[in-house]
Structure 1
Amino acid sequence: MSASTSVTASPLPVGEKVVSKPKKQPYPFWLGGVAATIAASITHPLDLTKVRLQASGDKRMIESIQKTVRTAGVRGLFDGISGTWMRQMSYSLCRFWAYDESKKIVGATGANPPAWKLALAGSMAGGIAGFVGNPGEIVMVRLQGDFAKAPEKRFNYKHCFDALFRMVREEGASSLARGLGPNVFRAVLMNASQLASYDFFKAELLKTAYFEDNIYCHFTASFAAGTVATTVCSPADVLKSRIMNASGPGSSSTLGVIRQSMKAEGPGFMFKGWVPAWSRLQPTTILIFLTFEQLKNVVDWSRARGIPL
């Protein structure tokens, strides 16, 4: 007789049903908007400096920061933060929601979706969010860039809602669509490069033996995504800032701004402010995704204890 015995799975008793694992509930649609708002609030001084470099004659990041502190104090580094909040709770909230929905449409919800499907879903989300968030984008750019202008050329908005109402009253409702083309184009590039590349890098890292689904993996994937996004989005970002900050007749023409900038500065203008843009977008991207992942953990923790979210 052989000493080894084989073990076979015993059949289920007659009449006993297999209990399937309940499908995990989707996360709240507003989670991405909250994560982006928290991140943007922390990195606001860098975003402010980036916009002023792109829209003014300032040449260097440190000099621009020193100029802001010298003229408006440390508090000046947070000029226009209400516009940042408006932008994040419109544009970013929409893009995270639309990205999840777009992934379902293109079939990119599996464990390892192909990069092109992620990029397609990101592009779709960017187009929607860029359109919806355009008014908030204009308000943010104008509030941030105001004190970099001469006093007689400032808008002098009190806060984001004052800016929105005055734009409609003084420039017409069509002013809310100023720079819509470059903004949507930038949003498509941003989401295809930031959201999609984060998912891609995260999936690739998890295939290795060095990473697990934890904060170290999230940090590394978001760092790579931030660098990719900065480089891809720089030209559209510069054009968007220059067009949205303009107020004269005919100054919103994309081709006109390109021709004027190329003539005055050469093709390098498209990457003007890359270092502060990277310095701002890199920590922002890291903070967004780290905060987003932690917020998802909070939701999971709450639901496990019967607290609906």
Structure 2
Amino acid sequence: MSTSSQKVKYPFWYGGAASMIACLVTHPLDLAKVRLQTATTPGQSLISMIYQIISKEGPLKIYSGLTASLLRQATYSTTRFGIYEFLKESYIEKTQNPKPSTAVLLPMSMISGAMGGLVGNPSDVVNIRMQNDSTLPIEQRRNYRNAIDGIIRICREESVGSLFRGLTPNLVRGVLMTASQVVTYDIAKNILVDNVHMDPTKKSTHFSASLLAGLVATTVCSPADVVKTRIMNAKGAAEGSAVTILTNAVKNEGVGFMFRGWLPSFIRLGPHTIVTFLALEQLRKYKIGMW
């Protein structure tokens, strides 16, 4: 994310709004990723999973849990992007250094990611459950009407603490995702501009840097993402603690389960990253909401 020479204070919510726009584009891929990660038997591909959802549940089902996904971006991404930009701009103002080094940006992104993971955890729990609900036996389905209904019912039927299931791997994922995605994007963009001589203002440069950032972020975050998904999808304490769930998964499926759904994760995260940054730049260009 390049810094601007103009000292413009952009709204805190720009990152979240851009991520919500990207969510509308990539939600079907995110749904397929969750289904692959929670499957107890490996082997299905991204295409076969999407085809299965459409053929067995209907075309509209590829947007199952959309309200929860949007709520997740509104909480998680707004927090992580907002805090990151605040910390970065504060550093630039204090040091008068328009281009902070990677060593400076990395801890900023890690703090931002952890805070985003904490704030977004409740909506993430609902998101995972809504996307995976159709795969459960009828008697075990939760049938949340929307994200808000899901949060209310979890508090009523389980406990408020259930909204923070999988918090530890979610915090880890938030740190890894924000650090790898944002910092890698900056590094990749600088390399493309300085070494490959690409135009820093062209969308092709942003596209290439975003894809590289998505590749790194997907690989780094995959283990934490899969473990988080398994824990959040578990039904109460009956299925054991996080350690038990992880131990059983490794024992029954092998260590490779931690990279289950890597391809759909990458296919989703690449476009998601691209659309997020493009939307973010448009929000900044037209100064939406700044009148």
TM-score, scaled relative to structure 2: 0.91
Contact 1:33/1:89, CA 8 A, preserved across alignment: yes
1:116 CA displacement: 2.4
1:160 CA displacement: 0.5
Higher relative contact order, structure no. (Cα contacts within 8 Å, ≥ 6 residues apart): 2
Q: Distance in 2 between matches of 1:192 and 1:57?
A: 30
Q: Distance in 2 between matches of 1:87 and 1:174?
A: 17
Q: Distance in 1 between matches of 2:240 and 2:221?
A: 19
1:218 CA displacement: 1.4
Match of 1:267 in 2: 255
1:111 CA displacement: 4.0
Whose Rg is larger? 1
The reply to whether residue 172 of structure 1 matches residue 131 of structure 2 is: no
Contact 1:206/1:213, CA 8 A, preserved across alignment: no
Contact 1:193/1:232, CA 8 A, preserved across alignment: yes
The reply to whether residue 284 of structure 1 matches residue 272 of structure 2 is: yes
The reply to whether residue 46 of structure 1 matches residue 34 of structure 2 is: no
What are the residue-to-residue correspondences of 1:118-157 with 2, within 5 Å?
Answer: 118-157=105-144
Q: Distance in 1 between matches of 2:285 and 2:269?
A: 24
Q: Distance in 2 between matches of 1:23 and 1:207?
A: 22
Contact 2:158/2:236, CA 8 A, preserved across alignment: no
Q: 2:9 aligns with which of 26, 29, 46?
A: 26
Contact 1:243/1:252, CA 8 A, preserved across alignment: no
Q: Distance in 2 between matches of 1:161 and 1:283?
A: 27
Range moving further from structure 2, 290-299 or 98-107: 98-107
Specify the SS of the correspondent of 1:26: coil
Specify the SS of the correspondent of 1:211: coil
What are the residue-to-residue correspondences of 1:182-201 with 2, within 5 Å?
Answer: 182-201=169-188
1:105 CA displacement: 5.8
Contact 1:37/1:89, CA 8 A, preserved across alignment: yes
The number of aligned residues is: 282
Q: Distance in 1 between matches of 2:39 and 2:108?
A: 35
2:201 corresponds to which letter in structure 1?
D
Q: Distance in 1 between matches of 2:264 and 2:91?
A: 35
2:122 corresponds to which letter in structure 1?
P
1:184 CA displacement: 0.6
What are the residue-to-residue correspondences of 1:108-119 with 2, within 5 Å?
Answer: 110-119=97-106
Gap runs ≥5 in structure 2: none
Match of 1:6 in 2: none
Specify the SS of the correspondent of 1:194: helix
Range moving further from structure 2, 243-252 or 82-91: 243-252
Alignment deviations for residues 120-141 of structure 1 (CA, whole Å, 9 cap, x no partner): 1110100111101110111111
**Closer/same/farther in 2, CA of residues 75 and 287 from structure 1, 3 Å limit:** same
Contact 2:11/2:290, CA 8 A, preserved across alignment: no
Contact 1:48/1:77, CA 8 A, preserved across alignment: yes
TM-score, scaled relative to structure 1: 0.86
Match of 2:149 in 1: 162
Gap runs ≥5 in structure 1: 1-21
Match of 1:96 in 2: 81
1:254 CA displacement: 2.1
**Closer/same/farther in 2, CA of residues 104 and 250 from structure 1, 3 Å limit:** farther
Contact 2:189/2:200, CA 8 A, preserved across alignment: no
**Closer/same/farther in 2, CA of residues 262 and 134 from structure 1, 3 Å limit:** same
Q: Distance in 2 between matches of 1:110 and 1:220?
A: 26
**Closer/same/farther in 2, CA of residues 180 and 252 from structure 1, 3 Å limit:** farther
Q: Distance in 2 between matches of 1:265 and 1:241?
A: 15
**Closer/same/farther in 2, CA of residues 124 and 154 from structure 1, 3 Å limit:** same
1:79 CA displacement: 0.6
1:206 CA displacement: 3.2
Please report the RMSD computed on the Cα atoms of aligned residues, expressed in angstroms. 2.0
Match of 1:15 in 2: none
1:155 corresponds to which letter in structure 2?
R
Contact 1:102/1:124, CA 8 A, preserved across alignment: no
Match of 2:60 in 1: 75
Q: Distance in 2 between matches of 1:24 and 1:118?
A: 19
Comparing both structures, which one devotes a greater share of its residues to helix? 2
Specify the SS of the correspondent of 2:239: coil
Contact 1:56/1:148, CA 8 A, preserved across alignment: no
1:104 CA displacement: 4.4
